Amino acid sequence: MKVALATLEAPLTPCGRGGEGRGGGVIKVGIVGGTGYTGVELLRLLVQHPDVELTTITSRGDAGVAVSDLFPSLRGRVSLKFVDPAEAPLTHCDVVFFATPNGIAMREARGLLEAGVRVIDLSADFRLTDVATWEKWYGMTHASKELLPEAVYGLPEVNREAIRHARLVANPGCYPTAVQLGFLPLIESGCVDCTTLIADAKSGVSGAGRKAEIHSLFAEASDNFKAYAVSGHRHLPEIRQELSLRAKAEIGLTFVPHLTPVIRGIHATLYARITREEDFQALFEHRFSSEPFVDVLPWGKHPETRSVRSSNICRMAVHRPQGGDTLVVLSVIDNLVKGAAGQAVHNMNLMFGFDECSGLTQVPILP
């Protein structure tokens, strides 16, 4: 069924929608692992949130250091010091964000949940529902298998209602966010071949985290462009799992990530073979017409990563090269915001009944 364009000419949906959560007051927030790029991005967003009181920020290596000494950008906004996780009063929080490497949240989430604290995990510990698949791709034994059925995959554009009532949210990865949103309308409508999908995706170097590694050194990453993990990337099973749920069948996906010499941004070029004619532009505009953080550009436009820099927006555009049987979707996000911290704050807003856009209305930075 084709969707009429007449009702789809509005710009990005304004916020103001509350949830069905508890709402109605300031909540106490803790962050485990606050010294990485995702951690400082969480801090930047949360200090601008009207309903949040930051109470605890942990770091083993920087315990006792003032947050503003490590991150001068937060001077005058965050007066806390980093504390050792073993001494942090996390059970006194209403919600705790894990901005930690894989393997940490799965060992600590259970105790927080038992204490009545809600958990939003930005690592991959609770994203995959199949334990064997998770252990294969992440190379360790899962420490909280019993929590996997409860964890809600935190892509608001798909699981909004489940997120509202969740105790434990698995925040999606950055590549999976850009890729899923771009494919979503096509898979849900059943108008493309779901066995031959291709995702050609590029990420800035901040996606690798704030750690000293040779491949992310300036002399290595600057003035260079390369593919990596072509044989299999950890985000592949996550994307396949979630898109298969939308398709109600196993999907076939070739996913190739690339490293680009930029700091922020993901650009996903997505290919799908058309099996049924649609007004594809109308299809995308209708699917995302009520989504505050998805912007469907006019047909044939080319979204740029800098157009979403430091914002929680996913911008996309649809193409049909030479009128052929292949549809091309361009999807761009800021990997640290919509691909991580911003999406986590969006999930928190849903869980606690706040306006969905609270703390997330920043206009993208240009240049």
Residues 6+ apart with CB under 8 A from 66: 79, 80, 81, 82
Structure tokens of 297?
Answer: 């550009």
Inter-axis angle of helices 174-189 and 280-287, nearest 10: 120
Element containing residue 281 per DSSP (H, E):
helix 280-287
Catalytic residue among 15, 93, 174, 191: 174
User: d(Cα 134, Cα 153) in Å, to the nearest integer?
Assistant: 15
Q: Give the residue from 238, 33, 27 showing the smallest Cα distance to 122.
A: 33
Bridge partner residues of 53 (DSSP): 28
User: d(Cα 33, Cα 241) in Å, to the nearest integer?
Assistant: 27
DSSP assignment of 163-192 equals HHT-SEEEPPPHHHHHHHHHHHHHHHHT-B
Q: How far apart are the first and last CA of the chain?
A: 41
Bridge partner residues of 153 (DSSP): 170
Bridge partner residues of 29 (DSSP): 54, 95
Catalytic site includes residue 174: yes
SS3 call for 300: coil
Count of CB atoms situated within 10 Å of the CB of 325:
12
User: d(Cα 140, Cα 125) in Å, to the nearest integer?
Assistant: 11
Place of tokens 């930051």: 54
DSSP assignment of 94-132 equals SEEEE-S-TTSHHHHHHHHHHTT-EEEE-SSTTT-S-HH
Distances in whole angstroms, Cα of residue 200 to Cα of each of 57, 94, 148, 155, 267: 36, 39, 29, 21, 8
- Which residues are annotated as catalytic? 174
